[in-house]
Structure 1
Amino acid sequence: MLDPLKRLARQLSIDVSPLRDSRDYRLLFASGVITMFGTMITMVAVPYQMKQLTDSYLAVGLVSLAAFVPMVVCGLWGGAIADALDRRKIILLSELGLLGTSTALMVNALLPDPQVWVLYVLGAVSTGITCLQRPSLEAVFQQVVRHDQQAAAAVLSSMRWNFGAIVAPALGGLLVTAYGPGLAYGLDSLSFLLSLALLWRIRSLPAAEDAAPASLKSLVEGVRYAVGRRDLMGTYLVDIAAMVFAMSTALFPFLADELDSPQALGLLYSAAAVGALIASVTGGWTTRVRRHGLGVIIAATAWGAVMGLTALAPNVWLVFIGLALAGAADMISGIFRMTMWNQTIPQELRGRLAGIELLSYASGPMLGDARAGLMANFGGTRFALGAGGLLCVAGVLALGAALPKFRRYDARTSEHALAEQARREATAQEAPA
């Protein structure tokens, strides 16, 4: 009886070898924990403040939509510069810019008459800077973590993200309702200062000598590569569909009021991350999965189905459980997608493809919140949540049927995964002892 339990524990346990073997990954991991904490507090503070100032579904939903264009432009350009310049320098300069935007939000919140337009403008600027930085951060993981540890790094990175996404929104909900959004923005600024101290210690990560300069031509080259690989296109399109149809965080301030639990606002924002953290902590089994495309389809379908059912929940605790289960499904999908990206994309294209990835996982939630706000204007909170979940299930299943290469992807036989593995092994053998 004990042996099967031990085997199960080993299968569910987390592989921490990337943290043990890579100093730069440890620094990135710690920095990510700190900044995610501050960013998630701000994620609660901005819609809460917008609701305070306007009491409008649409105004809250448009916070995300206002950042859409900067996200698209800066995400693509961030991918191009990530392949052409020193990625460490890009990360550091972007972190300084984000420190500036969070400080400006704090100043606006402390004014006697905070301005609504500032929330839209700074939200857009902050998103633009984040999208310039993100491709470099994603591409760096491929450089500082061994090929055979990429799946383990994906689980660890997911766990790190969810730690902040659980604690920070719950704390943020308490802070903004008790002390106002100014304190939340101040804590976000402090998190960027601490993160800068860690990121400064990362080694220089210059581009390859023959790297293509950042240009429209290099952007087109990256897009052409992505479009030419149907397995990659599946990871992008399924995630966009899942988020556009079922993401509904813009509804949370209103849902908390309808449940007669305004003090539970932070819990609603944390719920998905609770489920995602449990999925990450017990996610050792994901490193043994090889059919990543099918795994993404199943997980994204489950995410939509649970979000639809959550619309029927009569009290805050059942809503919390539903959101947690949905978050677990979404995290499994994210782990499989990240593993596919880091195990199959050539290093010289990794930054540009990370920019495209950013568009897929960032545009979906933005458009999803705008969709939720618009649908809620017509049919109310529950209608927007439930109908979105049903649309998600239909959209994901349709894409799975339309993309057989994605559905049948297998890391053991994929030519791209095998080629990248061989390249990494050759590079490791050529490196000096």
Structure 2
Amino acid sequence: MTVTSDKPTSWIRKHAIDIRPLRHAAYRRVFIGNAVSFFGVQFTAVAVPVQIYDLTRSAFWVGVSSFVGLIPLILFSLWGGAIADAFDRRKVLLLSSTLMWVTTLGLFAQALLHLENAWLMLVLVAAQSAGFGINSPVRQAIIPALIDKNEVAAAQTLGFTVSNIAAIGGPVGAGVVIAAFDVSAAYAIDAVLFTVVLWAALRLPSVPPGGTKATGGLRDVRDGLRFLAGSKIILLTFAIDIAAMVLAMPKALFPVVADERFGAASLGWLYASIAIGAALAGLTSGWIGRVHRQGIALVLAVVGWGLAVAAAGAVPWLWACVALMAVAGAADMVSGVYRQTVLLSAPDEMRGRLQGVFFAVVAGGPRLGDLRAGSVADVTDATFSWVSGGIAAAVVAVVLAMTFPVLLRYTDRSH
């Protein structure tokens, strides 16, 4: 008699990513739309800094192209969160997605016509950021209505993972396309793939916000900020993420480093490097939910991010730089899941507004980081800007944890 061990199956179930939310047809369509559009968005994310650098030959201008979208991103993220708590979330998702699609078409047109106007590009980037600011909190707030309550955390992890998988293939594909053709081809691919998001939004049922008297006005934004001000642990998770992204995000340096150190073919790998680690961490994320002392885990993940970024900036080999940035990406994936877990403890009627603030932090921090990295590189060099930023992020994370021990004491309340 042969006895078959179920240990491999048991190990996979214990450590592999949870895909239960995909059982729901509406969520599955949104998931597919997001996955395809995330891939396409990476083409524009690479094309814009490459085109700006080609026009200006300045790392500072690359940083400015990222920073210019920060103000509309923050304002419309906060407002978009309030709108998500007040109106039919399907309609808001569809309108904001359409705005993003139109601005991508604008970027395609200016590249195709060879207008070579950096200021026009900045206007289009700012408009796209406004649409993105509304779209992201609505996209997150809509998810609990499409799945079972006990699957929300799994859906968040799926979203993180698929976005990072797309961020691997997207930049590599963008590098190939831009080298073979030009940036207009990259913008065109993004515009075509983004139509899948519009299809997914059109197929959604009506998703009115429940249990709220919000109107989408400034008072609702103020109420959300007032709630946030009274939650020290949420504020600390925002603060530690801002420190990590502002001080240690080196993406603005990628075109410079590719041009001066590794060669043009390295550009796609540099842009994909963070996502490689994040995707691998997501695919093996079954253990993440079993960590009890999540505050300590969050701090360690941010420290790991900073140190890995610093090491990546110091090595002279492309493969080592990509590998170390992948380690940083894995650490960032872990910290992102724990920060979202903290947010899930908020009341349902505040979900959209808090997701708006969360997105403003998550998307705004890297843009400030691009400006910091580009500015420092212009007055020193790319290596100093890259390495010093990573070290500073690790130090600040430790200082925040020691100054506010409530962060270290945070535990998963579901245990």
3-state SS in 1 of match to 2:52: helix
State the distance in 1 between where 2:57 and 2:170 align: 24
- Confirm or deny that 1:15 pairs with 2:18: yes
C-alpha contact (below 8 Å) 1:297/1:396 kept by paired residues: yes
- For 2:327, the equivalent position in structure 1 comes to 325
State the distance in 2 between where 1:175 and 1:413 align: 46
State the distance in 1 between where 2:15 and 2:349 align: 34
Shift, 1:241, TM fit: 0.6
The aligned amino acid for 1:13 is A
- For 1:421, the equivalent position in structure 2 comes to none
Q: TM-score under structure 1 normalisation?
A: 0.92
Q: 1:291 to 1:211 in 2, by over 3 A?
A: farther
C-alpha contact (below 8 Å) 1:231/1:293 kept by paired residues: no
Give CA-to-partner distance per residue, 1:189-240, whole Å, 9 cap, x none.
1112122112211111112364221222211111111111111112211111
116-125 or 400-409, larger mean C-alpha shift: 400-409
C-alpha contact (below 8 Å) 2:86/2:212 kept by paired residues: no
State the distance in 2 between where 1:407 and 1:281 align: 26
- For 2:318, the equivalent position in structure 1 comes to 316
C-alpha contact (below 8 Å) 1:86/1:207 kept by paired residues: yes
The aligned amino acid for 1:385 is W
5+ residue gaps, structure 1: 415-433
267-276 or 211-220, larger mean C-alpha shift: 211-220
3-state SS in 2 of match to 1:200: helix
- For 2:278, the equivalent position in structure 1 comes to 276
Shift, 1:150, TM fit: 2.2
Percentage identity across aligned positions? 36
- For 2:119, the equivalent position in structure 1 comes to 117
3-state SS in 1 of match to 2:205: coil
State the distance in 2 between where 1:59 and 1:382 align: 18
- For 2:234, the equivalent position in structure 1 comes to 232
Superposed CA RMSD: 1.6
C-alpha contact (below 8 Å) 2:281/2:333 kept by paired residues: yes
Shift, 1:399, TM fit: 1.4
Which of 249, 252, 255 is residue 251 of structure 2 equivalent to? 249
- For 1:423, the equivalent position in structure 2 comes to none
State the distance in 2 between where 1:197 and 1:159 align: 22
State the distance in 2 between where 1:211 and 1:27 align: 29
- Confirm or deny that 1:359 pairs with 2:360: yes
C-alpha contact (below 8 Å) 1:82/1:352 kept by paired residues: yes
Q: TM-score under structure 2 normalisation?
A: 0.96
Which of 205, 223, 226 is residue 225 of structure 2 equivalent to? 223
- For 2:175, the equivalent position in structure 1 comes to 173
The aligned amino acid for 1:16 is I
- Confirm or deny that 1:348 pairs with 2:365: no
- For 1:145, the equivalent position in structure 2 comes to 147
C-alpha contact (below 8 Å) 1:311/1:385 kept by paired residues: yes
Give CA-to-partner distance per residue, 1:278-329, whole Å, 9 cap, x none.
0000111112223332221111110001001112111111111111111111
Q: 1:210 to 1:311 in 2, by over 3 A?
A: closer
C-alpha contact (below 8 Å) 1:172/1:184 kept by paired residues: yes
The 5 Å alignment of 1:33-432 reads: 33-208=35-210, 210-342=212-344, 344-412=345-413
70-79 or 404-413, larger mean C-alpha shift: 404-413
Shift, 1:174, TM fit: 1.1
3-state SS in 1 of match to 2:85: helix
C-alpha contact (below 8 Å) 2:212/2:349 kept by paired residues: no
3-state SS in 2 of match to 1:337: helix
State the distance in 2 between where 1:81 and 1:3 align: 49
The aligned amino acid for 1:354 is Q
Q: 1:134 to 1:167 in 2, by over 3 A?
A: same
C-alpha contact (below 8 Å) 2:136/2:356 kept by paired residues: yes
Shift, 1:51, TM fit: 0.9
State the distance in 1 between where 2:298 and 2:316 align: 30
C-alpha contact (below 8 Å) 1:50/1:59 kept by paired residues: yes
State the distance in 1 between where 2:212 and 2:172 align: 47
Give CA-to-partner distance per residue, 1:76-121, whole Å, 9 cap, x none.
1111111011111000011111111010101100113321112111
State the distance in 2 between where 1:61 and 1:369 align: 5
C-alpha contact (below 8 Å) 1:84/1:211 kept by paired residues: yes
State the distance in 1 between where 2:147 and 2:230 align: 27
3-state SS in 2 of match to 1:314: coil
State the distance in 2 between where 1:38 and 1:260 align: 25
Q: 1:147 to 1:294 in 2, by over 3 A?
A: farther
The aligned amino acid for 1:107 is A
C-alpha contact (below 8 Å) 1:41/1:169 kept by paired residues: yes
